[in-house]
Amino acid sequence: MARIREFDIDQALDRAMDLFWRQGYAETSLQDLLKELSIGSGSFYAAFGSKEQLYLRTLDRYTSLQGRDLETALDGTIGIRPAVRGVLTSMIEADLADPTRGCLVVSTAARCGDQPAAADRANTAIRQFESLLAGALEQARARGEIPPEKSPKELARFLTTFAQGVRIVGGARMGREFVEDALSTAMRALD
């Protein structure tokens, strides 16, 4: 008779994600994961397959959660400028509150170049961010919130690049004035 899994997969993914986020992929050992998840190696391998497969699942979960939050923030109810400013400000505030945490996607992109599957997940997450922004900007242009000559795709690429840079600058502890000045300049791209 097969043994019944005694732990919640989503909770385990969240705990593993937090551990990878704090320590990084390479610095997190299998023993660290087993301790954090309070499971044995047999349960670990049965549920996740390997450390790399677990990491990829945590990236998928992180991307899904972040994508859902971004969709909600850009839903068109408050206008594109306050929505974009709110998204970028929330990143800035998160980094100011805990500069060591940063963004899991950005840290993956920076540290996992030798892991093609992880780099691919980071690429997908960044493209998802760009796509959601481009869709919101297209709708905003149709509503007359941004000039008709502005390209939603180009603006989305710029803002996506800016957002990823904000996460890196936040980790470098450049300070509120530095990032708020940069944010003011970035927002002028929508004029």
CATH of the domain at 132: 1.10.357.10
Question: Residue 144 falls within a domain, yes or no?
Answer: yes
Question: Residue 8 falls within a domain, yes or no?
Answer: no
- pLDDT at residue 191, as a whole number: 93
Question: Residue 28 falls within a domain, yes or no?
Answer: no
Give the separation between CA 3 and CA 131, rounded to whole angstroms: 42
Question: 20-24, 133-137, 146-150: lowest mean pLDDT where?
Answer: 20-24
Mean pLDDT for 28-53 is 93
* Total count of domains within the chain: 1
Domain with 94 in it = 51-190
- pLDDT at residue 141, as a whole number: 96
Residue 159 has which token pair? 């803002």
Question: Residue 44 falls within a domain, yes or no?
Answer: no
Give the separation between CA 32 and CA 17, rounded to whole angstroms: 12
Question: Residue 106 falls within a domain, yes or no?
Answer: yes
Question: Residue 160 falls within a domain, yes or no?
Answer: yes
Contact partners, residue 17, CB within 8 Å, separation at least 6: 58, 61, 62, 104
Question: Residue 136 falls within a domain, yes or no?
Answer: yes
Question: Residue 127 falls within a domain, yes or no?
Answer: yes
Q: What is the pTM of this model?
A: 0.86
